Chains A and B, each alone.
Chain A
């Protein structure tokens, strides 16, 4: 079946530091890959996505590249801000008819001023 493995948190960084959150996946077929962000007490918001190998998703300074050879989709940001503090989830959709989302365990990021 499908699965997503995320770097365990929590991650604490100083403002303007470089961020990497690792994500690897196992899936049949050709999944689409996503990063979602969850702010305290809120639902999930789509941060970025990539639908095929070598695609790069980007949004709000965050980037992730779909690497089929390493089955990875690591999230990066060059300079984090306090407002980036949240929980980040890596996810994929299967190539089956339901295309349900499978989530990783989430990584708590705290950015200190």
Chain B
């Protein structure tokens, strides 16, 4: 099956700093990538949808200036958490798919801890 790789797997940062998380589709071109946030023992909440070469579409309640998403190529999307605070600590997961009616493949997730 297709492989989606997220990096880093975990990161600890100081409050007020910014953190970048990468999501790569290793063996296919992803026209669309999704970013999710998962709180402990809860489901995945979709944060935003990004299509290559265009601005991301954010879900209601997600601050686009805080969670910067860039989908510069068909194999790479990045999520930057700007001026991170402890409440941003969470598990962030990306997924990618080739086309509208194709399966979405998930990265292994990134555990962000802001201290």
A residues sitting closer than 8 Å to B (CB atoms) are 36, 41-46, 49, 89, 97-101, 103-106, 108
The binding surface of chain B is classed by DSSP as: strand
Residue B107 contacts which of A36, A43, A99 (CB distance < 8 angstroms)?
Answer: A43
Residues of B within 8 A of A (CB): 4, 6, 34, 41-44, 46, 49, 93, 95, 100-101, 103-109, 111
Shortest beta-carbon distance, B66 to chain A, in Å? Answer: 21
Do A44 and B93 contact each other (CB < 8 Å), given the known contacts A89-B44, A99-B100, A106-B43? yes
Chain A proximity of B24: nearest CB distance (Å)? 13
A43 to B91, CA, bound (A): 9
- Given the interface pairs A97-B100, A98-B49, A99-B100, the reply to whether A43 lies near B93 with Cβ below 8 Å is yes
- A43-B6, A43-B93, A98-B49 given; A105·B101 CB < 8 A: no
Are A99 and B101 in contact (CB-based, < 8 A)?
A: yes
Q: A41-B109, A43-B108, A100-B49 are in contact. List 18 more A-B contacts (CB 8 A).
A: A36-B106, A43-B4, A43-B93, A43-B107, A44-B106, A45-B106, A46-B103, A49-B103, A89-B43, A89-B44, A99-B101, A101-B95, A101-B104, A103-B44, A105-B42, A105-B43, A106-B41, A108-B41
